[in-house]
Amino acid sequence: MAGFEVSPEAMRAIKAQDPWIEEAFPRLPQRLPKEIFDRNLDRWLDVSHPARVTWELFGLSVFHYASAGKFSMTRTGSVKTALQDFAFLEQKGQLQPKPAFIVANDLGNNRLASFLGGDPFSKLSDLVVPETLRVLTDFRELAGIEALIARFEDPLAQLESWPLLAQVLGSFSLPEKIKPRLRDLLMTTDFGRLVEDNRDVGLIALFEASVQSLHLNDLQLATRLQNELGKVAKILSVSESTESSERNGMILIEAAVNLSLSASTPESAMSAFAGLARRIVDANESNLGSPQSEPKKNR
């Protein structure tokens, strides 16, 4: 798909300086695809969308389809071992499904009725031996969407729960009956505090919140998350190391794209994004030349 470039004129409109524009624009490695700001969520969230297909889910889906989901196809020792090595890892002496297989793929659209659709847990359950099936059953109780949302009622569980929720839910939309509970969680979470407690978890949480704001269609929530984004940018500006600043800056930019879409129409999303980008830049500029505190170690 053809893309478009953010023009120098647009950057001047948010008070970017000419020397920076003249230096930065010739070095830009690629254009920004139009689909980023004009998304068709039905296609974007389809299980067959190229951005959503991982080799792990593809491999499991192919095997499940080829074996017609029959356990008898996996009884031989070599196949059983290969499937276990492919789908599970060992943590502290216990088997767990690999992260790719706990994604709630069944929440995605499947317009083509593709074999890629469906719940990875169910596909694995059809194929594994009984003792491994118990591992899946126990983990499913822990990582089910409703169980994950309920875990946030314990403030001490947030640092563990956010990465798991982001892995399981990703950019899929929750069932309608659970959306109010998710909105309450996003309206009450202090993302700045999360980043101060654990930078990586806080950024995962903020990015997942920005993705889910696209599905909740709530201007009050989107506005609050934009303010949280600015707060996090300020915290990072005084605590970031050079090695991680570029990576984390890209996370903030991607979150800003999501929030610009959730708080505006597609036609005005670019200008909304420019405003959020300006806030991120301002947060960094406000600390240039200021005495910086010792970077906080990530716990």
- Tens digit of each residue's pLDDT (9 = 90 or more) over 181-193: 999 999 999 999 9
For the stretch 79-110, what's the b/e string if a residue is b when 16 or more beta carbons lie within 10 angstroms of its beta carbon? eeeebbeebbeeeeeebbbeebbbbbbebbbe
C-alpha Rg value of the chain to the nearest Å: 22
Q: What is the pLDDT of residues 66-122, one digit of tens each?
A: 887 776 666 677 777 888 888 888 877 778 888 888 888 889 899 989 999 988 888
Domain ranges across the chain: 47-143, 158-288
Choose the weakest-confidence range: 17-21, 46-50, 277-281: 17-21
The pLDDT, as a whole number, for residue 296 is 47
Chain-centre distance for alpha carbon 182:
15
Residue from 104, 145, 107, 109 nearest 121 by CA: 104
- The three-class DSSP label of residue 52 is coil
Q: Which residues contact 130 (CB under 8 A, 6 or more apart)?
A: none
Which pTM value belongs to this model?
A: 0.78
Query: Is the model's pLDDT at 288 over the cut of 50?
Result: no
Percent of the chain with pLDDT over 70: 76
The residue among 53, 59, 64 whose CA lies nearest residue 125 is: 64
Summarize the confidence of residues 5-33 as an average pLDDT.
51
Report how far residue 253's alpha carbon sits from residue 236's, in angstroms, rounded to the nearest whole number: 13
Q: What is the mean pLDDT of residues 16-24?
A: 51
Please name every residue paired with 109 in a beta bridge, in sequence order, or none if there are none. Answer: 46
Task: Report whether pLDDT(286) > 80.
Answer: no
Higher model confidence: residue 27 or residue 135? 135
The model's confidence at residue 19, banded by pLDDT at 50, 70 and 90, is low
- The answer to whether 15 touches 278, Cβ cutoff 8 Å, is yes
Which segments of 170-268 does DSSP mark as H helices, in order? 179-188, 191-197, 199-216, 219-239, 242-262
| Summary mean pLDDT of the chain | 79
Confidence band of 21 (pLDDT split at 50, 70, 90): very low
- Among 1-5, 73-77, 131-135, 180-184, name the most confident range: 180-184
Write out pLDDT tens, residues 191-228: 999 999 999 999 999 999 999 999 998 999 999 999 99
Helix, coil or strand: residue 115: coil
